[in-house]
Chain A
Amino acid sequence: QVQLVQSGSELKNPGASVKVSCKASGNTFTTYAINWVRQAPGQGLEWMGWINTNTGNPTYAQGFTGRFVFSLDTSVSTAYLQITSLKAEDTAIYYCARAEVRGEAPIEAPNWFDPWGQGTLVTVSS
């Protein structure tokens, strides 16, 4: 049974950077999609994009390019979300979620999301 365990809450000043981790346990880390989903306080779910754990190729949703970087360390079965130049509006819970990949590059995409990590609250405030 795969589990995704995320790093703990972060409090950051505007302009700083943060790196959230998502560690997979219980099964092989390769050949899956790790998706990132943002949930602002009291709001709904917003898909940020995904990274292919086999190829390391990231796909970013519009609005999550530039300051947002997805990466992997397959040696420790961990995916990362780095956000630079943090703004107050980045305050949110960030979830990772695994999915199987359908299709083949360049036309590949994740399927449904399961399981999810427990979420990491990132607070940006001075």
Chain B
Amino acid sequence: AIRMTQSPSSFSASTGDRVTITCRASQGISSYLAWYQQKPGKAPNLLIYTASTLQSGVPSRFSGSGSGTDFTLTISCLQSEDFATYYCQQYYSYPFTFGPGTKVDIK
């Protein structure tokens, strides 16, 4: 199975900050990578697919980049509603796997 890792696992930030989350795959997955946001008690919500395509309705402060094994999710100007846990997921090969998540909380 392809192992997905994320860094950092958690961090504190302030509104207005630019934040970057890294996701690494244990083997190449081309651009078959999605990013999801999950708030407490809620289902995950798709932010980015094919590594860099912004899902319709998602604010443009979110962006994704990378291909192969290394990927990043960037939030250009953190808003209060962005405090959540973020997961990357590869859908390149079975079994599909998620990263362990990155929790962003308020400093």
A17 at the interface (CB under 8 A from B): no
Q: Which residues of A contact B101 (CB under 8 A)?
A: 44-45
B side interface size, CB within 8 A: 24
Q: Is the CB of B43 within 8 A of A95?
A: yes
Contact of B87 among A35, A45, A114, A115 (CB under 8 A): A45
A121 to B26 CA separation, bound complex (whole angstroms): 31
Contact of A116 among B43, B93, B98, B100 (CB under 8 A): B43
Q: Is the CB of A44 within 8 A of B100?
A: yes
A37 to B43 CA separation, bound complex (whole angstroms): 10
Q: Is the CB of A61 within 8 A of B95?
A: yes
Q: Is the CB of A112 within 8 A of B91?
A: yes
Binary contact readout B87-106 vs A (1 if CB under 8 angstroms, 0 otherwise): 10101011111111100000
Q: Which of B11-19, B44-52, B70-78 contacts A (4 or more CB under 8 A)?
A: B44-52
Interface residues of A in 26-54 (CB under 8 A from B): 35, 37, 44-47, 49
Extra contacts, 5 of them, besides A95-B44, A111-B49, A114-B55 (Cβ < 8 A), are A47-B89, A47-B98, A61-B94, A95-B43, A115-B46
The 9 closest A-B pairs by CB, nearest first: A112-B49, A114-B46, A61-B95, A116-B43, A112-B34, A47-B96, A45-B98, A44-B101, A44-B100
Please list 27 pairs of residues, one from A and one from B, whose beta carbons are closer than 8 Å in the complex, sorted by A's number. Answer: A35-B96, A44-B98, A44-B99, A44-B100, A45-B38, A45-B44, A45-B87, A45-B98, A47-B95, A47-B96, A59-B94, A61-B94, A61-B96, A62-B95, A95-B44, A109-B93, A109-B94, A110-B96, A112-B46, A113-B44, A113-B89, A114-B46, A116-B43, A116-B44, A118-B42, A118-B43, A119-B43
